[in-house]
Amino acid sequence: MDQRRITISDIVMGEPLPWDVYDDSNRLLLRKGQIIARESQISTLITRGMFVEARNAAGGRKQDAAAQRPTEQPSVVRYINLANKRLERLLFNLHAEDGLEAKILDVARVIGYAVQTNADIALSCIMLNQGGCPYSVRHCVDTAIVVNVIGRALQKPQEEVELLMAAALTMNVGMLRQQEQFHQRAGALTGDDKSVVHAHPETGVALLREAGVRSQLWLDCVLHHHENEDGSGYPAGKRTQEIPEGARILALADRYCARVAQRGYRKSMLPNAALRDILTTDKDKIDARLAALFIRELGVYPMGSYVRLENGEIGVVTGRGKTTTTPTIHALIGPRGAPLSFPIKRDTSRDLHAIRDVLAPEQAAVRISMQQIWGMEAAA
């Protein structure tokens, strides 16, 4: 069967489908005329892939648009923005939502599909797509992206990866509203603030249980994601093998994403410095094996980092290279400081285009369009 992929924009909730919908193996998922009534149904379709017969597509909704974009690709940025919006509603209305466990897992699947579509774009969103929703929500989505990348690298079953991502999405529910206040505040945390922080894993587990979450893996990761290998963490001061591996993965992802985010009470760290800080300052607190895997998967210069090259060009890290220290970048500013007409791909393993240093966004002083670099897969 000649198929055409459809996307979220082709489906209108509450209206009958104008075609039969298949997965990528030609298995029928939904029949023509069926009504999509819940966002969770759309998320499931996204996860499995959505296709229609090309000969029937022109007779359905958005006929002209479908004919003009038969090879339209899904947008990673749109999926992640969708996840942010849906998670914000769920977290801030925790006990008003029926079936919270399933709905959070749906959000995790949307993020997983985004990473599967293009992991480089998904990871770059941590640095380059920081607007549009509260920090307390965005940080959880960013952490879930990293958790997905690491879980896949460890070849964990998809169901387990989704539960680890769900834990990332809900890890701070025990201090959600306070976290947003902490983020906006210019001063350091007070003693009372720190008490809230230290209590939030246990508070979060209690809230999730009340909201219907039953997965023990999920709850254990939320409870233990601030435990340290040397026993200095909280809430129980557990050590090494007493800490579930999923919680250790979540802890590293949480540390990295928190360090690179702009905060009210401190500046964000450069992404390469954040990884270095985790490996040095926190070396006794983290799982060394997992830390090495993080470096391998994120790279010494993580996706979305601004860099200056030896030839004076300024660009952004956009892909993996031959080694973890020689990623692909796209140059945006020329050697003399003038913006380039279009991004130019550079191989940093070449001496002329080697990375000289990493820049903060304000140092790079460049306006970036993710779509201009990655195309429709990064359309906002």
Per-residue HEC secondary structure of 156-177 comes to CCHHHHHHHHHHHHHCCHHHHH
Could you report the per-residue pLDDT of 15-58, keeping only the tens digit for each?
677 888 887 778 888 888 777 666 566 666 666 667 787 665 54
Based on the fold, state whether residues 212 and 149 are members of the same structural domain: yes
Our count of domains for the chain comes to 3
Please answer whether residues 183 and 260 qualify as being in contact, where contact means their C-beta atoms are separated by less than 8 angstroms. Answer: no
Nearest-angstrom CA–CA distance, 220 and 14 = 37
Based on the fold, state whether residues 287 and 316 are members of the same structural domain: no
- pLDDT over 90 at 4, yes or no: no
Based on the fold, state whether residues 123 and 268 are members of the same structural domain: yes
Nearest-angstrom CA–CA distance, 147 and 139 = 12
**Nearest to residue 144, comparing CAs of 186, 95, 187, 86?**
86
Which pTM was predicted? Answer: 0.81
Domain's final residue, options 68, 92, 118: 68
Average pLDDT of the chain is: 87
Could you report the per-residue pLDDT of 168-202, keeping only the tens digit for each?
999 999 999 888 777 776 677 788 888 999 999 99
CATH number at residue 187: 1.10.3210.10
Based on the fold, state whether residues 113 and 247 are members of the same structural domain: yes
Nearest-angstrom CA–CA distance, 54 and 5 = 9
Return the exposure string of 196-230: e unless at least 16 CB atoms fall within 10 Å of the residue's CB, then b.
Answer: bbeebbebbbebbeebebebebbbbbbbbbbbbbe
Nearest-angstrom CA–CA distance, 118 and 76 = 7
